[in-house]
Structure 1
Amino acid sequence: MKYTVSILTFLLASTLAFAQQDAFERFQFHPDLNYNSGITSPAEYLDYELGEEFTFHHQVMDYFKNLAEESDRISFHKYATTYEGRDLYYAVITSENNMANIESIQNANVEFANNPESASVEGKPVVVWMSYNVHGNEASSSEAAMQTAYRLVAAADSETSNWLENSVVIIDPMMNPDGRDRYVYWYKSSQANILNTDANDLEHDEIWPGGRTNHYWFDLNRDWVWLVHPESEGRIAAYQEWMPQVHMDFHEQGFNNNYFAMPGTTPRNLELPDEYDQWADTFGRGLIEEFDKANVNYATRESFDFFYPGYGSSYPSVMGGIGMLAEQGGHSRGGRAVETDDDYILTLRQRVFDHYTNGVSIVKTSVENKEGLLTYFKNSLSQSAQKGNTQAYILKNNENDYTYQVINMLMKHNVRIERATEDFNQRNSYSYWDASSSTQSFEAGDFIIKTDQPKHLFVNTLFRNQMQIEDSVMYDMATWSIPLAYNLDAAWTTNNVGVSTEQLTEELSYPSMLENGGAQYAYVIDWKQRYAPKALAKLWDMGYNVRSAGRTFTYEGTTYTEGSLVVLVGRNYEKRSRIQADMRQLAEEVSVVVEGFDTGRMDEGMDLASSDSEPVKEPKVALMVDSPFSSYTAGQLWFLFDQWTEFGIDRIRSGSFNSIDLAEYDVILMPGAWGGLSGVLNNSQIEDLKSWVRNGGVLIGTEGSASWLTADRSGFTDVELFEEEEDDSTEVEDKAYTRYADRTDVFGLERIPGSAFKGIIDNTNPLAFGLPEQLYSLKFGDDGIVPNNSLQTVGYYVKEGEVMASGYASEENKEKARGQAFAAVQNMGSGKVVFLLDNTQYRMFWVGPSRMVQNAVMLLPGF
């Protein structure tokens, strides 16, 4: 028997070895071309053929640096450093003649983008940007980037020379090196000596959180607009210094899928010129011509919309270029080779070849259509391409919310922003809350973003209260409108804004000052300030006893919000010699206003040392991570506290829950979870957790975890989710007979794909301290909590009128949400269970509700 097994093992290994050999013989990188012998190929430099192994970040970067040393066709430029200390670079590749004049070419192209109306397309090279490996475990693309660069730099044929004379090619070989190396290190530690193509094997089963995301587990391909992370901020700074006409973003998808080539599917961003679709098809046809010759399988038009503007495939389009996506089968489970569902062995070598072929095709098609692409770029940035009748978007100058952060982000995209120098009234100003029109009053200092500028595609896409939606079944979210996401006081107008203005030229800074530094009684930090939670964390770090105001108070005409921090001098008497210096340092480092008081007696409301001023002590916080918790939500919560708040929390793996001492923690924070938590917590552990809450713990459930904490899902509390009454209508019966071909569309209409719902907030509740009475909650699921007398309903969807502010939801789902709670607190013994059904800090751009989770962690244990 053992001889039979040995023979079968030998035959399998031999078969796989032959499959690998066939792949290297079949998928070659234009070996018929003449290459400059003085230029080192990737295989020569790495000492292995591309496709044999995965290459680490430092090796890829070193190869590009080597190319830049060996050739005058390429230069290599650093643009950012990751959280983990890895440097990001982009390569510029063009002819020697162009390279000798590259600064002038670059400046001329930026001038072209900034003044398209008067620009000429004559004599300009087309600028082509290709981005690789934004998802770290889609690892074949960085391998292909090296071979594509080598082809352009080393090939000595006339066709390549023509391409380089008429184009500037920019290659970003690795956009997410932290995630890439996380994946490669894991893969190399898991791979077997005998090539294993079984997708169920350890080699093809990546562990949580996977290499897709960056250090904080964020999807960087959703951050092109918001610039939350250094990788994105550095890349966009470089992008704005070039403003390419063509951009291709290289990705991978599931290993059973064939190559996705342009164009994509609906919904599309209808702000774009109609010609965009034709150009996407032109590039797709250029690629499939090459794939047909190489017998590479592909599909077009069936998937992948470019509606959301924060992708690498969509951001370039709202910047006036042709933004595109490529998706190779493989992804993290592809490994070096994997058997697909049709018994084909998909190799890493083929994945590299396919992306290489596409990269070369992109350059070829761009040069063949240079004049047309330059003309499209010129026209798309010109006013003739603008759709709709919006003349400007106006943001109130609020020093306490996210307005300054948004303004600074827009300036990084080179959006022209003006500031009113006098008060003014504006006719036909529209409200984001209900789209009603009126004459609104604005003040000197308010910000005006006019659409009469080259960035109008970008501005309108980000500020429309409602984008036109062709197809509600979409790949990502249905709304991202900036005033809604950041909960800003804003309006748009269809009339010209005639007020005198000044253009912003420098980024804004939040107020940072100490008033009455030698205060005798107390120091106060108003909780509505943008960085008030960060100030509280800093005060704890400095060792101060801090109180939080449970009610508002007024002194000398100024009213301070609930939650405002009070540092009583008498309760910190041992620090009296340095308290003034500490408060000044706090104001400067955290960017808050600290106000000194010489008395505790207020004119109205509570006094500073009132019993309504609760002591808030630094809590010990556990954030649950690992399966089944979403790495995205876990990463956002970690980032919110680690970066924005600078308050340390402990990340506890779900598998370790049984071994931790719950008594060590004051707060347990549960991110959204897939499929509930039944596989994490058994009945005994659930009872232990209940006992911990009753003894004073604060348990916070977000998204799916919040739903799981209800009576309907786990019985942890008696809080109920809203359930519709059974409907015996013929409509329900008819759905049971939906044709197979129609099921995706019919049932897709029933989901809520990330839409803004109008929320009413009880900001007298500690969970909502510092928030306004209205905000926009980003809703994905259809869950809602039923309010009851014993439940503290802190946030609920409006009861009357239109409940959705932007996006898509069926009439049934909108009606179902009306009046239901999305944020609530349930007392349990001495502790609390907090329900946050909607993500409060989605991708760290939908952050209008984020103060609630900060309050839950930092304030609720003291209340």
Structure 2
Amino acid sequence: MRKLLVSLPLLVLSLHAQKAEFWPGAQYDPAIPTIQQVLGHEPGTRITPPGDIVRYFEALAAAAPSRIQLHDYAKSWEGRRLIYAVISGEENIRNLEQIKAAQLKLADPRKTSAAEAKKLMATMPSILSLSYGVHGNEISSPDAAMMTAYHLLAARGDQMIDNVRKNVVVLIDPIQNPDGRERFVHNFRVNEGLLPDESPVAAERAEPWPGGRTNHYFFDMNRDWHAITQPETRGRIQYLRQFLPLVQVDLHEMGGNSSYFFTPGSLPYNPNLTQDQKDQMNWFGRNDAKWFDKFGWSYFTREVYDEFYPGYGASWPWFYGGMGMTYENASVRGLVLRRSDETLYTFEESVKKHFVGSIATCETAVDYREKLLDSFYRYQVTAIEEGQKEPVKEYILPRNGDVGAVDKLAHILAEHGIEIRQAKAAFRNGGKDYPVGSYSIVLAQPRKRFIRALLDPNTPMEPDFLKEQERRRKKKLADQIYDVTGWNLPMSFNVDCIGAAEVSQGSFETVTGAYQPHGAVSGRADVAYLVPWGTQAAGRFLTAALRADLRLLSANKPFTQSGRKFPSGTLIVMVKQNPAGVHDKVAAIATASGAEVVATNTGWVEDGVNFGSANVGALKKPAIAMLWDAPTSSASAGQTRFVLERQYGYPVTVVRTSSFGALDLDKFQVLILPSGGYAGAFSPVVTDRIKNWVREGGVLVGIGAAVSYLSSPQVGLLGVAQEGLAQDSGRPADAAKPATGGTGSAPSTPAPGAPAAGPAPGKIFTSMQDYEKAIRADRELPDSVAGVLVRAKVDPETWITAGLPETLYVLVDGRAIYSPAKIDHGANPILYAGPNELVASGYLWEENRKQLAYKPFLTTQNEGRGVVVGFTSDPNFRAYMDGLNVAFLNAVFRYTGGGGRGGAQQEQQ
């Protein structure tokens, strides 16, 4: 018996590791190493960590160098390699540079005639990109990537694979998010037991905060493709632009009780997709279905996963003339899962499904090679033709206001392959004058549809789709809008973008490469250096100067010197108040930050505050703490930290909520609460400590749902309240607690005067409207919004709005609408615009549009010598709302309170 007990675990593991047949009847070249030979396990029997995935691809490249190339394209934030493999037949690999050049020729019909294009298409292979594991806890696809690469290299006697090698160049990005996958694998391994656990709630699949979905800074990188905030995304776009694949597949996972999804995708479709592209989805979907039918696997199409938002990995290829597809696989989140129908689903089966989907896609890329190439070329031709015919012939980005933001946006467009010109001299178009350095984007170019997708003020959804969403909403059913409906980049950056009916004439040069800030100092100062506030570059100067221990002053009011008006918040570096090396430090920081720095030899001003005014104070270098871990939203925490650390170079101490009670708050001047459900997270003792810390001079910044916590009766640090749904009668909206369910209803209460028991009062309904009114809940929250860009108006006469323009654009999502703070409790420095001008881009429910108008985006409340700041929507949303950066920096660095320890407070001079 003892012997049996000892050997039982080994027996079980041995049975589990038996070799499965991934492709029936396949014969493989023994010269190509298997996963078992390199990593020590059969495919689908272990969840492979990211380092081992790279190691396996290195082994394949070493074994078959004539048929596979391996390239590094970036490093993750945690220093892990990001690689892609190019797999094809020997002749294609040998001629790879010529194939890439031919594809780029097809991408520009201004340089390649139809006859030349036809000649190229007759012989060149199609290019297919397969991308795996952008979400680190969607575990099956990277293991499927290894099996796909092995099968393409090693399969023998298979005519289909031979045709793929001859006619397709396959790009494989096996692990797009190694940092997130490492988090998942680590949690899985430290919680493994004797046997793989089939329980849906087993610790091995119950990921601790923040989970493995996101990268190091908790970004969902499948939302980043249009804004390019992350190095992983930037590297992918750079290498894909060298190939311009005709087809790109992004392989994902969904809930474990689902089946498998492949194209066609669901409505809404981005209106910039062509009919050719929509038709192509059916080619691939039908062939995927053929193979899934052979294996007896169920699947679905045309549901859930839309083709609307341009920030997905499967959206980006649509806009250069390729096609993108999302494949979604039911997730095991471990090695075996007992589903709700009591069937067992294994990791091995999930890997096999993504492997088969990948190979089926390769086959379709062969079968439709010439049609795909022809469609790609015609896409470019028709894009140029459309750009020539449309009323708007050109978009212009004037280089005014926050010129660094304008430059950054221009270079993002260039990174996408959009042709953009910068003016070497001032020019005029449509009766308007544009300064030197402004940018011109002519629509008559191959990327015309991407220009429209990113720069059009609004991208509409199909009317029938919207009608269906309103019907569902009326019945309190969840809407089918998958992601944000407004993403216009100029609005996100808060810069102007003007459509012109004619193409600008003048002297222009082409913009290339990623944005690199370049600032300068106007001269050598005898008295002071001035940095006009209100730009991202000035924000970078501020944080760098604080870290360099320069003594900084800031004006709380505007002033005019030498005929130039400087805005409130302008930074002042007094020469005599700083060490002898101040000139070199200022010059270096100006260059690196991109800030404009004006040297002045006098403290005299013609108007406004002098440098010695009581309205000019010294900014202190704050120590910043931020809450981390549950119940904090990982997305909000990650993007807030990213903005401060990576966009502005300022360190943040992140503190787990479980450790917060032991934190010595006196060592910090600023405390940030990212969005999260904090009710009950802190004991009354800890809450009192926070209140006392603020009263003694601390700056407390709450974001999103944290405002609900800070404004709750138990905390009382913000004088706003979350509103219930405003009723049609126009009576004031009830305050309501945030809803946790999907219907948006708050608990009903008996109507005033209603009997405690017995029958309800009788009513007669004379119309369906009477019935609908009668069944309405007594208290509801507004319906949730997927994501829409709205306008907000700025009160310029507050410390927190220094340097801001009169209008900002804010991304609003969710259902939270807050009443404004009473004048005797706080201030509302930034309010949403009125109902008729509120919506800037995207789709907003009518009731929300009416109720959100004139409500606060930003609210403040003084507490003793400190201040509490509340952003009712996240100003750092996905780190692409650059136009809100200055407002957020003001909250963190510019508090002008009573001389306590508030972050970057101003000391009286």
Q: TM-score, normalised by structure 1?
A: 0.91
> Aligned to 2:277, what secondary structure does the other structure show?
helix
Distance 2:879 2:425 in 1: 33
> Aligned to 2:55, what secondary structure does the other structure show?
helix
Deviation at 1:15, TM superposition (A): 13
1:786 matched to 2:801? The reply is no
TM-superposition CA deviations, 1:656-713 (whole Å, max 9, x none) = 121112222211101111xx31131233322222222222111111111123322478
Change (3 A) 1:317 1:15: farther
Partner of 2:68: 74
Partner of 2:129: 129
Distance 1:54 1:515 in 2: 58
Deviation at 1:314, TM superposition (A): 0.7
Q: CA RMSD in A?
A: 2.6
Distance 1:323 1:168 in 2: 16
> Aligned to 2:267, what secondary structure does the other structure show?
coil
Q: Does the 8 Å CA contact 1:622/1:667 hold for their aligned counterparts?
A: yes
Deviation at 1:564, TM superposition (A): 1.3
Partner of 1:474: 481
Distance 2:565 2:71 in 1: 51
TM-superposition CA deviations, 1:148-199 (whole Å, max 9, x none) = 0011111122321111111111101111111111221221112112221111
Of 611, 616, 622 in structure 2, the residue corresponding to residue 613 of structure 1 is 616
TM-superposition CA deviations, 1:184-225 (whole Å, max 9, x none) = 122111211222111111111001111111111111111122
1:761 matched to 2:794? The reply is yes
Partner of 2:147: 147
Q: Does the 8 Å CA contact 2:88/2:169 hold for their aligned counterparts?
A: yes
Change (3 A) 1:446 1:621: same
* Residue pairs, 1:401-480, within 5 angstroms: 401-421=404-424, 423-427=426-430, 440-470=432-462, 471-472=465-466, 473-480=480-487
Partner of 1:771: 804
The letter for the 2-side match of 1:789 is: I
Distance 2:14 2:675 in 1: 45
Change (3 A) 1:467 1:608: same
Partner of 1:431: none
> Aligned to 1:786, what secondary structure does the other structure show?
coil
Partner of 1:557: 563
Partner of 1:579: 582
Partner of 2:880: 845
1:734 matched to 2:740? The reply is no
Change (3 A) 1:698 1:146: same
Q: Does the 8 Å CA contact 1:548/1:616 hold for their aligned counterparts?
A: yes
Change (3 A) 1:362 1:155: same
1:324 matched to 2:305? The reply is no
Q: Does the 8 Å CA contact 1:88/1:175 hold for their aligned counterparts?
A: yes
Distance 1:104 1:220 in 2: 32
Deviation at 1:751, TM superposition (A): 2.6
Distance 2:99 2:714 in 1: 62
Q: TM-score, normalised by structure 2?
A: 0.87
Q: Does the 8 Å CA contact 1:272/1:317 hold for their aligned counterparts?
A: yes
The letter for the 2-side match of 1:106 is: K
Distance 1:717 1:531 in 2: 31
* Residue pairs, 1:342-357, within 5 angstroms: 342-357=341-356
* Residue pairs, 1:351-370, within 5 angstroms: 351-370=350-369
Distance 2:770 2:79 in 1: 56
Q: Does the 8 Å CA contact 1:419/1:503 hold for their aligned counterparts?
A: yes
1:831 matched to 2:834? The reply is no
Q: Which range is displaced more, 506-515 or 530-539?
A: 506-515
Partner of 1:634: 637
**Number of equivalent positions:** 825
Distance 1:324 1:570 in 2: 62
Deviation at 1:257, TM superposition (A): 1.4
Q: Which range is displaced more, 167-176 or 541-550?
A: 541-550
1:373 matched to 2:360? The reply is no
Change (3 A) 1:550 1:305: same
Distance 1:732 1:78 in 2: 65
Of 483, 486, 505 in structure 1, the residue corresponding to residue 490 of structure 2 is 483
Partner of 1:436: none
Q: Does the 8 Å CA contact 1:125/1:166 hold for their aligned counterparts?
A: yes
Partner of 2:523: 516
Deviation at 1:58, TM superposition (A): 1.9
Deviation at 1:279, TM superposition (A): 1.5
Partner of 1:433: none
> Aligned to 1:267, what secondary structure does the other structure show?
strand
Change (3 A) 1:555 1:660: same
Unaligned runs of 5+ in 2: 467-479, 731-767, 896-901
The letter for the 2-side match of 1:488 is: V
Deviation at 1:578, TM superposition (A): 1.6
> Aligned to 1:754, what secondary structure does the other structure show?
strand
Of 79, 89, 101 in structure 2, the residue corresponding to residue 95 of structure 1 is 89
Partner of 1:434: none
Partner of 1:34: 27
> Aligned to 2:201, what secondary structure does the other structure show?
coil
> Aligned to 2:28, what secondary structure does the other structure show?
coil
Partner of 1:743: none
Partner of 1:798: 833
Q: Does the 8 Å CA contact 1:418/1:501 hold for their aligned counterparts?
A: no
Distance 1:800 1:99 in 2: 59
Q: Does the 8 Å CA contact 1:696/1:831 hold for their aligned counterparts?
A: yes
The letter for the 2-side match of 1:90 is: Y
Q: Does the 8 Å CA contact 2:481/2:786 hold for their aligned counterparts?
A: yes
Change (3 A) 1:652 1:557: same
Q: Does the 8 Å CA contact 2:250/2:313 hold for their aligned counterparts?
A: yes
Q: Which range is displaced more, 280-289 or 134-143?
A: 280-289
Distance 2:781 2:128 in 1: 36
Q: Does the 8 Å CA contact 1:395/1:491 hold for their aligned counterparts?
A: yes
Distance 1:509 1:70 in 2: 41
Of 51, 54, 79 in structure 2, the residue corresponding to residue 61 of structure 1 is 54
The letter for the 2-side match of 1:644 is: Q
Distance 1:713 1:480 in 2: 37
Change (3 A) 1:704 1:296: same
TM-superposition CA deviations, 1:465-491 (whole Å, max 9, x none) = 111112353111001111111111221
Distance 1:162 1:372 in 2: 16
Partner of 2:505: 499
Deviation at 1:733, TM superposition (A): 5.2
Distance 2:380 2:21 in 1: 40
Change (3 A) 1:75 1:800: closer
> Aligned to 2:123, what secondary structure does the other structure show?
coil
Deviation at 1:61, TM superposition (A): 1.1
The letter for the 2-side match of 1:550 is: N
Q: Does the 8 Å CA contact 1:395/1:490 hold for their aligned counterparts?
A: yes
Partner of 1:240: 241
Q: Does the 8 Å CA contact 1:196/1:338 hold for their aligned counterparts?
A: yes
1:548 matched to 2:554? The reply is yes
Change (3 A) 1:302 1:422: same
The letter for the 2-side match of 1:36 is: D
Distance 1:709 1:37 in 2: 65
Deviation at 1:628, TM superposition (A): 1.3
Q: Does the 8 Å CA contact 1:383/1:453 hold for their aligned counterparts?
A: no
The letter for the 2-side match of 1:563 is: G
1:655 matched to 2:658? The reply is yes
Distance 1:514 1:422 in 2: 22
Distance 1:528 1:725 in 2: 36
Aligned-residue identity in percent = 30
> Aligned to 1:78, what secondary structure does the other structure show?
strand
Of 592, 595, 602 in structure 2, the residue corresponding to residue 592 of structure 1 is 595
Of 521, 532, 537 in structure 2, the residue corresponding to residue 531 of structure 1 is 537
Distance 2:497 2:413 in 1: 15
TM-superposition CA deviations, 1:4-30 (whole Å, max 9, x none) = xx9xx99x9999979957xx67x6222
The letter for the 1-side match of 2:890 is: N
The letter for the 2-side match of 1:553 is: F
TM-superposition CA deviations, 1:272-324 (whole Å, max 9, x none) = 10232221122112112111111222221121112111111111111211100
1:83 matched to 2:85? The reply is no
